[in-house]
Structure formats: structure tokens, C-alpha cells
A and B are shown apart, each in its own frame.
Chain A
């Protein structure tokens, strides 16, 4: 916690110098984020092309969730406290931006995870037990981006992110986990003309998660399962094991932007990641490896008139993962030796999204905004031998809008009210397990209920309300209070609903 206070204080002190002259309402910052396409692309060299402003933002909040419409490894309920701060400033002709967030999660009654802080981060090789348990998790996320001045037609940038998490499962089999990730994204942008730019950035990250499992009640040995995907599992008895996950990732992205009557932003990226699992620190054994390959491509078209901004965005994302298992043998004096490795499972996901948004401008903020979007998502997971599969196809539509009401007074008071409604339609789904031990709960509960979640139709509604006002008539500091509620309702299988409510208070300055 001490580290947290120091970091927040430093971030706030740095950002205090970045106070800017106008447009500090929540709507203005949201508008800026939505229209900062270079920032969204992840190329730090292009940040200045977003015509950025100096700003600072800090908020702290709390949210709570509950409901049975969830994946089996999610908490039955839980709450989260968070502090977030971000800001940007010009230093001479350089542009610097930074973010920090701290989140404390209290997850209640999560099942089938006894070994990893985030079971949804694309690592299927984990240990699952049968005891629904609370988890206490803390997450830190620190980011910065720096953009140089232009050197002729060239601009350079560097982005970095450091994430650290710690998590502890509260019931036997317990585990204490520590995770970190470091990411570096150097980039370059070349100006073809005043209106046209192309960019390229590299993306390197290194991750590590260590987990030590144990029983407090050593008299009761727990049944646990080493998961290999789609329900395939090895059943064991005892107090678990120690896990050491280490991963590296390389990637790169290309961008092209054109500014004219129609603005065009094209992006395409590729990333390859390998994450190894070593079991035990004393006599390590190759447990498994996951190889992830991700592609993304998209185009965003914008048209700005004196009063309106139209945005049409098309995006495609694909992630293919190979689950690699090892054949190992124990040599008494030399530890574990890997004899062979095979791709035993593949996990593929594809998503295509289209979004149209129209917003009415009012200075640096918007008066109102409306959007409509659709997403097609396909999951195709296969365990190769013995052959098992889990496949789903979903179509998701969402429509939403926000009104930014001006309240009386001289302090730029605003009431920002939004509403979005979505509908997810599953039109294809199948799960078939043909491996050993079909009676294991990893098949009958974990994978079956996960599949049902993925194959459910549901409606979703979200209502955010934000009130804001300048603290002083002549000052720039804007206080805001935000509350939001999200409700997801389904009638599929035995699920019912899930809700999230939350709120935060903060200042833009």
C-alpha cells in the first residue's frame, strides 16, 4: 500500500502541472479518448497527430456484482475498489502521457481455479479444485507514452507498461500468486504529406506468474485437477503444486492515416506469444506451453462537419492458440527431462465488429452522442486426440446514446446520462467431449457450464449517469460523480441474470 500512495502522489504531482484551459468535463475527456485513433492504435509515435490536450484526471470508485449468469471460474459475486489516474502534458515539443491504476478485487465463491490470478487470460493449463473459494486480488497498472518532436518527416515514440498483481485463494487448496508483465512499444511515424501519415510500432512484452499451492488443513487431502483443455484433466490428490508461468511476446502494427473531408485510419497488427508453464521450482518439469498468435485489422472513417462528427469503424480480430503438452521422464539424479512435445489442442477465436457513431459537438465536448454496433464472434476450440470440441457463434447488437445536459450556473455543471441496450443471439453451438473420464467435474461442470454461458442468448442494458461541475467559477478543476448500473438477463439453460453497480468520484484538472 505504501508503494501505492507514493505512486499516486507522484502521478498527481506531475499531472498538477498539466492543468489546461478548457474542456475538462467528463464528456470532453470521453470525446477525446474516442477520437484519439493513434492512441488507440498503440503507436506512441502518433500521439501528437491526435491533436492532444493537456489534461489530468483522477478518480476512485467501487463496484459490486452478483448473479448466476457467469462463467464457472468467475466469482458468484464480488466487489472491486479502484483508484485511477491519468494525464498528459507537453514538455518542450515532446508529448508525454501516463496512467496508473490500482484495483482491489474481493471475488466470492469462484470455482475451478486454484492456481492462477486471471483464469481468462488465455492460459488453459491451470490447476482446478472443487471448492468454491474467495480470492483476494490486488492489481497495479502503470503506463507511460512519450512522443518526440518531428525530425523532418519522422516522429518517434516510446510506450511502456508495467502490470503487477498478487492474488490469494482463501480456501484449501490455497494458492498465493504473484504476476507481473512488462510491455514496451517503440514506434515511428512518417509524414507522407501534411494530410497523410504512416506508422509502425513494435510490441514486446514479458510476463511471469508464480503460484504456490498448499493446504492449511494438512489432514484433509484435496482432490484437484490439472487441466489440459476442454475438460481433459488429470486427477490428483493432496495439497497441489507450485506453478511458474513465463511468457514472451513479440508483435508489430502498421497504421495509415489520412485527414481530409473524410478521415481514414487503417491499422493492422500481428502478435505472437509463447508462455511456458514449469511445475515446481526445486525440480522443475515442463508442464505445458501455450502459443498465441493474434491478428487484427481495421479501418475507421470519420467525417466532421461544423456541428457533427460521424464515425464508422470496422474491426477484425483473430486469436489462434496452440496448447502444447510435453512427454517428460524423471531421471533420479538429473530431474525432469522433456522427451517430446506436441500440439494437443487448438483454441481459436474470431471477432468482426462494425460500429457507427454520430456525435453533436459543443466546443471540446459533445452535446449528444448515439451509436449502433454489431459484432460477430466465433469460438472454435479443439482437443486433437482424443478429439473433443467446443464451438460457438454469436451475433451481438448494441444501440446506445448519451445526452450531456448543461445545468444552470457559471461552473459548467453537466449531467451526462446514457443508455445502451444490447442483444446477443447465439446461432450455433456444440460441445462434445470424447476423452477419458467423462464423469470428471471438469467436463460435467466446468466445461459444460462454460459452454452454456458461451451459447446463451441474452439482453444487456447499461445506464451511466455522471454529474460534474467546476470547483470554482474561475478554476479549471472539475469534480465529477459517476454512477452506473449494468444488467444482463438471460433465459438460456439454468442461468438467470447478472448485475453490476458501481460509482466513482474524481477530479479532472
Chain B
């Protein structure tokens, strides 16, 4: 009997302690209150002041946003709810070289849980891109039709731009996930990591794009609204200038110019996939150009590619794109909360856009900031897709009066 009592006592103690632990942990929680954080922005660019830059605290999960202007030195930001934030400092400044630079720095998924914390955010400059994504349609059309994905790119500058050699890539992870890849630590913040890269063909002057003109790259540049495809498709991609032709005989080559394939899994070959499908949940896309005089060959240069180090057995190779090459980047996800798993460096895109569902025939379109004298738009480009894009629009080519280049096959 004595031993039974001892056994019962021995078994009871851990149970009782475990019960107390949960309750004690819960009793430890303090009531939430509004916090203050002091923000300082620092930059290595000479002759550039950070005063006047805009700082935005955004807690996407809770839909909380707080915006302020940085003063000289540390700027106190009051009224923050503790939680996970995307903190973005940005603004346009004139560089010493006379070029306009977009200063941007951020902390993504930064936990604010200490009151009166001092926060320093380093900002770096990126030349304001003359080419921007103006419209992206990735969600597809019900029921499960995804071949009408397309990307429209617009000349937002006042100069002619030759598209020849301009590259397009989708970044990894291909869709929003909590299982983020691990890239080589030695890479630092110098690269974006692409799954597949394409290039616009041409001899250097074949495809000029005038100010106010835009062009589109379609997954498959066909009239998707035909009965045999997807009559409910909101878009007919036949007028697209380029297409990602994967040589699938069931979806034959269209009049649009084929993009040149550059990279997939350390090979210049397109592989065996029947289409170039980017996640209908929303991918991350970049356009970039290799500076004159430099060579970029991730197929033959092993230094320019890597595998995902988070998975010891993974063999798939991804191309490293130097961030300084990139002209514009847009990250898309499932919805506003996907930013908790952001994959694009914030210097390229501090936010994320979305349409909130798959196969809903909705796209995203860049907001118009101003209008040129000829009526063509000047698109907003604050390097933050959350702010820069209208979400849930019915996709269309050349929205807001953008013009078609003369070399479009329809002309």
C-alpha cells in the first residue's frame, strides 16, 4: 500500500506541475499598450541627407499602418502596437552625380516588443528605373485555366529604351511559404535568386520602346477567349509582344516574338515542362539588364548559381542575379498577410501585392502618379508593391492610355 501511495504521488507531481506551468505562463502576460520606437536612418551615400525620408511601419497581419517623416537624428515614432512589422524608410533624392536615386532601407518581419527601442535602418540608393512592371496577371481563370498569365512592362522615363537583352526572371521560392530557403552566407545581400531566366532577343536596337509605350510578355500569346481555351478569360493575349514559348505542340507558337531562354536548373535548355507557369498564388518577378561590358552567364559560371542550402539533398540550381542589375521587381502573394514570408530583398520591393484568391481572373495594375503631356501615364514607383499597385483589377493591356510599340505584330 505504501508503495502504491508513493507511485501515485510520483505520477501526480509532474501532472500537477505541468498544469501549473501553463497557468503561470498565462499569468505572466502583460496587458498590451502602445509603444514608442526611435528611428535613425543611415546611408553610405555621400552628400545625401536622410531627413525628410518617409518611414512606414506596417503590421500586415493586423492591418495596422503608421507613417511618419524622419527628422534630423533619431525620430520618435509613437503609438505602435507590439507585433511583427515591415518597417520601410524611403524617398527620392538627388545624388552627387546629378542622377535621381531612390533611397530605400527596411527591416522586414521585425518584432517590436520593447518599448523605447532605438532602431537604426541603413538605406541604400537604387537608380530610379525607367522600366517598370505596369500590370501583372498571375491568378488565372476559373476553372483552373492558367495559360493567360502575362506581364506588362512600361517605359516610365522620358527616353527611348531598347529592350534587346532585357531579362525577365521569377524568383525563389516560387510561392509564399514559411519554409524559406537558405542561401550562401557569403552572398550577403548582393543577390536575388531566380528559378528561370528569359531574355528579349535582338541585336541591340531591334525593339525600341518609346516613352509612354508598354509591351507585354505572355505565358502563351494566344486568344484565350476562344471556346477551346477559356471563354471566361478576362484577357486575349494575342496582341502580346512576346511569349514564353515552351515548344508544346498542344499550345503552338503564336505570332508574338519568342523570349530567349537563358537559365533553368544550371542549363540553357528549357527542360520538359509543358508551359512556363508561375504560381497562381503570386510569384516574385524581376526585370534586369546586364551592364555594358559585363558578362552574366549563370549556366557556365558556377559562381553565379547555388542550391537551396536549407535542404541537404536538394540539387536544383538557382541563378544568382546581382541586385545592382535589377531594374524593377514586384512580389505577389496570396493576400496581405503573405508579407510575413517575404522573399524579395526589400531594397527591390519593400511590399507585396495580391489578388486574394486563385483563378479569380483578377490582376494587379500599377497606380498612376501623374500624366505626361501626351496623356500617357507616369506610374507611381515607390519601390513598394503594396502601395504602388491597385489590386483585384480586371486585367487589360495598355491601361491608362499606354501606347503600343510600332514593331508589335498587330501593326
Contact = CB atoms under 8 A, between A and B. Distances in A.
A136 interface: no
Interface stretch (A232-240, A417-425, A490-498): A232-240
B25 interface: yes
B26 A291 contact: yes
B22 A276 contact: yes
Nearest to B310: A332
Contacts of B32: 342-344, 384-385
Interface string B19-46: 1101101111111111000000000000
B283 to A, nearest CB: 15
B358 interface: yes
Nearest to B81: A385
In this complex, which of A206, A283, A332 has the most chain B Cβ atoms within 10 angstroms of its Cβ? A332
A237 B356 contact: yes
Interface residues of B, number: 44
B26 to A, nearest CB: 4
A120 interface: no
Contact of A248 (B23, B64, B180, B310): B23
Interface stretch (A16-24, A41-49, A146-154, A321-329): A321-329
Contact of B63 (A283, A332, A342, A436): A436
A443 to B, nearest CB: 12
Given A221-B357, A327-B111, A343 B182 contact: no
Contacts of B23: 248, 250, 272-274, 291
B336 interface: yes
A134 B93 CA distance: 59
A437 B61 CA distance: 11
30 contacts: A204-B16, A220-B358, A221-B358, A234-B61, A235-B335, A237-B281, A237-B334, A237-B356, A238-B334, A247-B22, A248-B19, A248-B20, A248-B22, A272-B23, A274-B25, A289-B22, A289-B25, A290-B26, A291-B27, A322-B26, A327-B83, A329-B111, A332-B310, A340-B82, A340-B113, A343-B29, A343-B31, A344-B32, A384-B31, A435-B63
B271 interface: no
B337 interface: yes
A196 B86 CA distance: 66
Contacts of B144: 219
Contacts of A206: 15, 19
A199 to B, nearest CB: 22
A437 B32 CA distance: 20
B84 A327 contact: yes
Contacts of B274: none
B62 A436 contact: yes
Contacts of A275: 22
Nearest to A222: B357
Nearest to B112: A327
A291 B143 CA distance: 45
A223 interface: yes
B178 interface: yes
Contacts of B336: 235
Given A248-B23, A343-B29, A436-B62, 20 more contacts: A219-B143, A220-B358, A221-B281, A235-B336, A236-B334, A237-B357, A274-B22, A274-B25, A276-B22, A290-B26, A291-B26, A327-B111, A327-B112, A341-B28, A342-B29, A342-B30, A343-B31, A385-B32, A386-B64, A435-B63
A115 to B, nearest CB: 17
Interface string B32-75: 11100000000000000000000000000111100000000000
B18 interface: yes
Interface of A: 204, 206, 219-221, 223, 232, 234-238, 246-250, 272-276, 283, 289-291, 322, 324, 327-330, 332-333, 339-344, 384-386, 435-437
Contacts of B113: 327, 339-340
Contacts of A437: 63
A219 B19 CA distance: 43
A234 B64 CA distance: 12
B4 to A, nearest CB: 15
B82 A342 contact: yes
Contacts of A289: 22, 25-26, 29
Nearest to B60: A234
B26 A324 contact: yes
Interface of A is mostly: strand
Interface of B: 15-16, 18-20, 22-23, 25-34, 61-64, 81-84, 109, 111-113, 143-144, 178, 180, 182, 281, 310, 334-337, 356-359
A223 B356 contact: yes
Contacts of B27: 274, 291
A274 B26 contact: yes
B143 A385 contact: no
A250 B144 CA distance: 52
B33 A385 contact: yes
Contact of A250 (B19, B111, B143): B19
A261 B196 CA distance: 91
Contacts of A235: 335-337, 356
B206 to A, nearest CB: 41
A439 to B, nearest CB: 11
Contacts of B82: 327, 340, 342
Nearest to B309: A332
Contacts of A291: 23, 26-27, 29
B109 to A, nearest CB: 7
Nearest to A346: B31
A61 to B, nearest CB: 36
A332 B180 CA distance: 7
A328 B84 CA distance: 8
B114 to A, nearest CB: 8
B20 A342 contact: no
Contacts of B31: 342-343, 384
Nearest to B358: A221
The 4 closest A-B pairs by CB, nearest first: A436-B63, A248-B19, A340-B113, A274-B26
A291 B31 CA distance: 13
Contacts of B356: 223, 235, 237
B147 to A, nearest CB: 15
A384 B23 CA distance: 21
Nearest to A336: B178
A332 B29 contact: no
A128 to B, nearest CB: 15
B184 to A, nearest CB: 14
Given A219-B144, A238-B334, A291-B27, A385 B357 contact: no
B51 to A, nearest CB: 30
Nearest to B280: A221
Nearest to A205: B19
Nearest to A283: B178
Contacts of B15: 206
Contacts of B62: 232, 234, 435-436
Contacts of A340: 82, 111, 113
